[in-house]
Structure 1
Amino acid sequence: MTVDDLDRDAAARDAADPLARYRSLFHSTEGSDLVSYLDGNSLGRPTIAATEAITAAVAQWSGRLIRGWDEQWMDLPLTIGDRLGAAALGAVPGQTTIGDSTTVLLYKLARGALAMRPGRTEIVLDSDNFPTDRYVLEGIADELGLHLRWITVDPASGVEVAAARNAITDRTALVVLSHVAYRSGFLADVDTITRCAHDAGALVLWDLCHSVGSVPIELDSWQVDFAVGCTYKYLCGGPGSPAFAYVRTEHQDDFRQPIQGWMGRRDPFEMGPGYVPADGVRRVVSGTPAILGMIAMQSTIDMIERAGIDAVRAKSVQLTEYLIDLTRELLPGVAISAPLDSGRRGGHVTLDHPGFRDALPRLWARGVIPDFRAPQGLRLGPSPLSTGFAESLAGVRAIAEEVDR
């Protein structure tokens, strides 16, 4: 295509986009140096409503002070958790809570799950999972004297069903995998892998950090045991916004998490001796929840509820396919290190080239924002609710110019 053809095509795609109206609900970048933001899979853009909600929360804090806990804040981790469960997780109420970082929740859920499978000695995980997952599980294995059974994967792909099935045995206590691989964007078959684990008597903990808000998730129908995920990517909760934890209803009575704080006690204000876990998913809570930190994500949950996660996914597929087509058109010397089949790809695309490490700071300086993953990967993560096609084209053009330097 000619330059003009590419511009007309991008404009036509934006004009036909049924989710285009949502872009105006995010803070405008007019007057800034931003040209193309392709890192929504790391940190989502702020919404206008989030700013208003945080301002209102500060006003409530100022006016109501400690009374705010009784009036709303105490239940906020559960009420937002239920809304997130319904909009993006395929989870009925009473199974999802907001609070702590992904790392802390991963530790809590993994330790609690392992205690439910006494006598089993192995944790199954993959060699290219996100570093936090690997590090947390390495530490837990050392603490408990367990064996880590590694699934070796191609960094350009992910954990296939056959590889998972071969790794899971009657010694497996827990399987911990990511729904979408952080590097390649590979989309795992959660349903089938979960059934493989259950057939062997094992439990499964899924990391949803790179899928929640961009890929349909059906935790209940997939019979997932536990799940964890962050809220600052496609949910646009802001830097460091608290993560979420899912504990399937049938496991809640037996689940004992290892960080026994007062907010997870059955009656936290009794201040009595001994820890008695709260009923339901509240027992996942440890200390005082980060109320201001969980306010911003509600506006994105609102958008997902209105648009529908299937429409969000359809736009995500269109954007990633568009980026792959542009890569072939404008970046002939660049390798596409992501699944080409959209049914096996999440919401981002990874490109590989030896010049990307040096190109990244130059791209950022000119207002084009992807991110880099060693050894030579550039991740392009468009966010379906806030990213347009013309913006994506501008980003790939800039990458082509920097690679050709």
Structure 2
Amino acid sequence: MSKIKSSSSSAVEAWILVGVQAVSSLGTALSTFGLAIHVLRISDDLSSYAMSLTIAFAPSVVLFPFAGAFIDRFGWRPVLLWSCGGSSIALLAFGLFFERLADSVPATVLLMIVLNAWATFILPALDTGVAGNAANRELSRMVSAMQTGEAVSRVVGPALAALVFANAGLVALLLLDALSFLVACLAIILATGKGAILPGKRRISWKIVLEGATLLLRSKQRRILMLFLALLNVSAAAAFAALTPVVLSISTEESLGKVLSVGGIAAFATSLLLTVIGPSKPELLLFAGSGCILGGIVAISLRPHIWLISCGVAITLIGLPLAVTGGQVLMARLTSKEFYGRVFAARSAILRLTTPLGSAALAMILGVIGTLPSDNTAFKILVGARTDDGTMLAICLLVIAVATFLILLPTGTRLRQSLVRQEDVSNA
């Protein structure tokens, strides 16, 4: 009886965390939209704007190892409370002194640094709490529900933020985000779990902080899985970096908006379906998702018509929730609970660090194609008669998709064989 009660209580805690993620994601979408526009308005030029955003996001990557260590040492619940409470206080303080700080780029960037720093702790803490409280058969459903919350925030957030910003200004957006974090704090208090504590209640040391990546890569299965996820992340990042110029090379800004809307709806529908179904084979989700992502990128690269690009974006964004859900569930199954915080934080750091590699890969391939003389046979095969930027970027996407497939095929085979061997050992 007590076992059933404990299991039911853990499930409730996990679903509360799913709700926390949905509320905080929507609030973050509102403030991110408003702060980006505000920085653009008060910056001297576009280069200052770009530099401000880079400075705001860069420090958060350094904090991921600390986030993982704190989660494993103190538990996901207190870390979430500190992070959500700290974010709310920072937003309220900036809103209170907005009249004095309105024209200050450093003050606005400082707020963004603080919010991103707290978010660095929030993301792995949520992953740890959900994975630690969800039963194996429910974990896929809950991870998919978190993806649904993110999809809703991406679709609803910008439209709602634009409406509030136009009528009430930046302060209203900041207050709404602060309110979302306060609601999240109340919900976290309702979740009674304390999370894992490091054996012997050791103090935080540099060894514990820095061993997140070591723990992640210690297992051969986790190494293969991380390589698989990182390659998919680079490919998807390249596709979205090239999407705007590819679409605008053959159509209008209005068409770009429709393409993105179609993709958002596809991601939402897929996440919602996975939440309802709760599939039990995460490796199948991962492989199906990777196939959709690469197939969608190929469709985008062909680009004879805007409808084909729309289909490609939709297929890619159908694949993302599949791959993310499968990858996260597999990572949880391959990791002991006492290491969840550090392993999940290291995974988030690696994925965030590999995201810019998508744009770098585009630039590198563009440079190689650009060195080919126009009468070169390879140039004619790749580009043909058209040499506009959209065509060149589309060719780069096709090259990235094919190269990623050639690497993922043996990597996925090794991962599948490893998982099958582990299952055979478990059954024996």
**Shorter chain as normaliser: what TM range?**
under 0.3
- Greater helix fraction, Structure 1 or Structure 2: 2
- Greater strand fraction, Structure 1 or Structure 2: 1
